[in-house]
A and B are shown apart, each in its own frame.
Chain A
């Protein structure tokens, strides 16, 4: 039995901002169902008292003390010079007035 339906694949495609062809929807339904079927083995393991490991630097001890959740170090929050804005703008396919340009977010006349 499929773990994911074609409708769910379409909905996931919307969430993930991916246009998918009918053929892709068909194969993703089959492939995701098969992969998720394999993952059912995780249900065999009792994890009720186990702290989720969110990061490879995290201790595996069963507590959530702040030091276990902190990354290795955070740099001081001080403003520093960065690369020139222009150096990034040259990578964009469309720019306007020193900004990235995108298609209209609101339909024209929406502000009336």
Chain B
């Protein structure tokens, strides 16, 4: 018997459109799974049962009346809590925004609604997207569905864990330095970070505006392509959103990899990479080679500076972006009977968690008069050099392959120093600094049955090359179809 929660989103939408299953039936199946499984996983911060069932009923009514329906008809979606949702509490997993009911939808949320997707609820994450393990959620921990003692990765940990454990069909995450790709790798699903500007940031709670992008987390390449088609495109409300045409991404998934040039960078083949991760990634690259891809060596000499540049630029932008949480316009307010300065300091001091405060302090340090040139400007110059490295490498190759993370999922509470945690992102950061599209897809498991992620990067606006690789790889392997027990 077919389990409807195990069908791909594309198949679910097809069956809903053809009347083989109803959107309401599909929605209820997921709500039931959430009720029975999520207490242990912790993927959802809140479930909008009423809203989801109402939306599903609307889709069913449209179909019954013979009206056209969208590309994601009836597909149950989970949204990272960084995405603003009209009339549905949005907190960015922070206490400072507890109880905030936004009066509008993010552009990506409107796009999903227009495509007739059903929004199940808001997913757990590291507070304000700052973290690599979802341990910085102010509300509750999220665990890895493959091993409950391990982290799901971060910061979109809830988005990846929910897809991996079939608590939604697809989800949206955001990626500022790896926050879609690294949790996708740790949870054994596919995460796609689009090129900077491909997807509107309108209504995405800002962390580091020159790096943030929204993208899909799915099980299959086809679903990632489908979601990307729905959420991409120019939006006048985001001045950085690109005017580039949106290709029919799904066409790329079946094109194969014959003739595609894949680069391997020595700088991403560090000793720090776990030997089993290295083995699985090498095997995946060999699989792509067997499909007709050409494998070449490339050089990205400034990669080793990406961590330092990122942890100056992102906190500097965050310190500025998060200044709006001051107890005046939304969220909590403390020390209301004291001076304005004291009210600000108390509200922010109590409302933000440890990692958020750490990054605000780091960003404030880097932007301080007298330090700006030595830190912020220097980091932006290094950013130029990192982007140039990629431009030169992409003159010879179409895609660059590497591990997504140096290890598989680490233990809850295992990483105790901030710097150690930041190093979990060494392979994902430079993609954001250069504005490139990047993907992580499951390429097998280590001996402890934890998923390994293969990262693929492409030149700006060339998501199609990533989807070609993923579509081909998933047609010759079945790692993506495996589910946690």
Contact = CB atoms under 8 A, between A and B. Distances in A.
Nearest to B387: A60
A62 to B, nearest CB: 8
Contacts of A90: 101, 103
A55 B419 CA distance: 25
A42 B379 contact: yes
Interface in A28-58: 28, 31-32, 34-36, 38-39, 41-43, 45, 47, 50-57
Interface stretch (B18-26, B71-79, B327-335): B327-335
B336 A60 contact: no
Contacts of B323: 17
Nearest to B360: A16
A72 B357 contact: no
Interface residues of A, number: 53
Contact of A56 (B211, B342, B375, B378): B211
Given A17-B323, A19-B348, A91 B361 contact: no
Interface residues of B, number: 80
Nearest to B364: A16
A100 B341 contact: no
Contacts of A9: 361
A111 B248 CA distance: 64
- Residue of B102, B328, B368 most packed against chain A (CB within 10 A): B328
Interface in A8-34: 9, 12-20, 24, 28, 31-32, 34
B348 A60 contact: no
Nearest to B390: A60
A32 B365 contact: yes
Interface stretch (B49-57, B224-232, B236-244, B440-448): B236-244
A6 B296 CA distance: 50
A37 to B, nearest CB: 9
Nearest to A50: B381
Q: Taking chain A's interface residues, is the majority helix, strand, or loop, or is none over half, making it mixed?
A: loop
A24 B357 contact: yes
B239 A73 contact: yes
Nearest to A75: B236
A79 interface: no
A56 B343 contact: no
A17 B360 CA distance: 10
Q: Taking chain B's interface residues, is the majority helix, strand, or loop, or is none over half, making it mixed?
A: helix
Contact of B329 (A24, A39, A87, A88): A88
B330 A55 contact: no
B383 interface: yes
A42 B417 contact: no
A56 B434 contact: yes
- Residue of B307, B327, B422 most packed against chain A (CB within 10 A): B327
Contacts of A1: none
A103 B337 contact: yes
Nearest to B357: A18
A21 to B, nearest CB: 8
Nearest to A35: B419
B377 A52 contact: yes
B158 to A, nearest CB: 24
A60 B384 CA distance: 6
B279 interface: no
Interface in A83-103: 83-84, 87-88, 90-94, 100, 102-103
Given A19-B348, A93-B333, A54 B210 contact: yes
A18 B352 contact: yes
A50 to B, nearest CB: 4
- Residue of A20, A39, A75 most packed against chain B (CB within 10 A): A39
Contacts of B378: 42-43, 47
Nearest to B244: A72
A46 to B, nearest CB: 10
A52 B381 CA distance: 4
Interface stretch (B61-69, B113-121, B308-316): B308-316
A93 B358 contact: no
A53 B375 contact: no
Contacts of B236: 73, 75
A44 B231 CA distance: 41
A73 to B, nearest CB: 6
Nearest to A49: B381
A60 B257 CA distance: 29
B319 interface: yes
B387 A53 contact: yes
B364 A45 contact: no
A17 B348 contact: yes
A107 B375 CA distance: 38
Interface string B202-215: 00000000110000
A28 B360 CA distance: 11
B479 interface: no
B362 interface: yes
Nearest to B383: A53
Nearest to A13: B361
B168 interface: no
Nearest to A43: B378
Given A18-B357, A28-B358, A72-B243, A45 B305 contact: yes
8 contacts: A19-B346, A39-B311, A42-B308, A42-B379, A47-B381, A56-B211, A93-B333, A102-B343
Given A19-B350, A71-B240, 13 more contacts: A4-B365, A16-B364, A24-B354, A34-B419, A47-B378, A55-B210, A56-B196, A73-B241, A75-B237, A75-B239, A93-B333, A102-B343, A105-B340
Ordered nearest first, which 3 A-B pairs have the shortest CB separation?
A56-B435, A19-B349, A52-B380
